Amino acid sequence: MPPRELAPRSQWHGLFRVSTTDDAYTVKEFAVTDSTLVISKLGGSDKRYGDAKLPIALPLRDVKSVDRLETDTGKTFLVAMGGVLFAVLVIGLATWDGPAMD
């Protein structure tokens, strides 16, 4: 969404991509004033995560867009569980001695 659609004095939580004229940020929390977008928490995938001094104030005139990022947590979990179950099956078959013979 264009920054002009963001309500001034609003607080946003979630995962967002904030694109500026010369950079992009992955953001977990930000606020909007009349003239500034203030980043209070960066997302873990942002290249500045852990190193940047927060808050980061960006003039709204430099912000091109703010887009909500969708996460596929459910799909990732299903793929991971499928991999674990397959590994258990392979290990079980590799170590199985066959039916017990009396």
pLDDT tens digits in sequence order for the chain, 102 residues long: 666 666 666 677 889 999 999 999 999 999 988 889 999 999 988 999 989 999 999 999 999 999 988 766 666 777 788 888 888 888 888 887 777 676
Are the beta carbons of 35 and 42 closer than 8 angstroms? no
DSSP at 6: S
> How far is Cα 39 from Cα 15, in angstroms, rounded to an integer?
12
CATH class for the domain made up of 3-68 = mainly beta
> Would you kindly state where each structural domain of the chain is located, as residue ranges?
3-68
| ∠ CA 3-7-12, rounded to 5° | 85
Question: How high is the pLDDT of residue 59?
Answer: 93
Q: Three-class SS of residue 75?
A: helix
